[in-house]
Structure 1
Amino acid sequence: MELAHVRLLVSDFAACYRFYAEVLGLKPQSGAAEGPYEKFSPTTGAAGIVLQDRATMAGLLGEVNDTVSGHRSLVVLRVDDLDATCDRVISRGATLLHGPAATADRMRTAHLKDPEGNLVELQEWQLLNV
């Protein structure tokens, strides 16, 4: 597994976007200042910080978008074989909340929670056929 990024689930996307871009000076990947998703890259290092609209993730997981007790962060781990990884973590006692399923053109994900209720996303990218 490789740490892909830490994703922060936010309610005021535009304000958080401005903070990470203008206050911290991180470089936005696409310039999607209104969301619902943006990755910020530091000047050094491979992993970045991603903002995602909290309501979008709540909808994906079939949960209520509760800003008081709702999820605030998501650790994203990139894996080579999502199905095998899911089978392995299930055999070790994990319960999947979602997936494995396609969530973007070239990406499949599965979601689970750690013992404290923090969200973890297992993410597999599929290569383009060129």
Structure 2
Amino acid sequence: MLTLFDREAMARVAGTAHLPGHGSAAQDVVMFVSRVADVDAGYRFCLRQGGLGVAPPVDRPEWGAGLRTAHLRDPEGNLLELQAY
């Protein structure tokens, strides 16, 4: 599935809204989203594997009924979202 996500909203979630939109220390331009059975368990697993927590698991009713997400960075700094409905 391909999802288009507003960069400003992505920057708010990732805590990078203070960074410029382009350049070497810029906001993210892509995010890998993975649907999982259990966001909390997936988040803990990713942290144990070297992921860096960005936003802990939280319910996001404003994004869709029953949606729960968590955001991390992989060891190379890529932004990841775990989600479950």
TM-score normalised according to structure 1 size? 0.54
1:113 aligns with 2:73: yes
1:100 aligns with 2:57: yes
Quote how far apart the aligned CAs of 1:53 are. Answer: 1.3
Quote how far apart the aligned CAs of 1:77 are. Answer: 0.6
Task: Name stretches of at least 5 consecutive residues in structure 1 with no aligned partner.
Answer: 1-46, 126-130
* Larger RCO (alpha carbons 8 Å, 6+ apart): 2
Quote the sequence identity (%): 36
Runs (4+) off by over 3 Å: none
- CA RMSD for the aligned pairs? 1.5
AA aligned opposite 2:81 = E
Deviations 1:47-91 (A, max 9, x none): 2x2211111111123222521021111111110011111122222
How many residues are treated as equivalent by the alignment? 78
Question: Which structure's CA Rg is the greater one?
Answer: 1
1:71 aligns with 2:24: no
AA aligned opposite 1:61 = A
Quote how far apart the aligned CAs of 1:115 are. Answer: 2.8
Contact 2:50 / 2:74 at 8 angstroms: preserved in 1? Answer: no
1:58 aligns with 2:11: yes
Q: Aligned equivalents of 1:89 and 1:114: distance in 2? A: 8
Contact 2:51 / 2:75 at 8 angstroms: preserved in 1? Answer: no
Richer in strand (by share): 1
SS of the aligned residue for 1:73 comes to coil
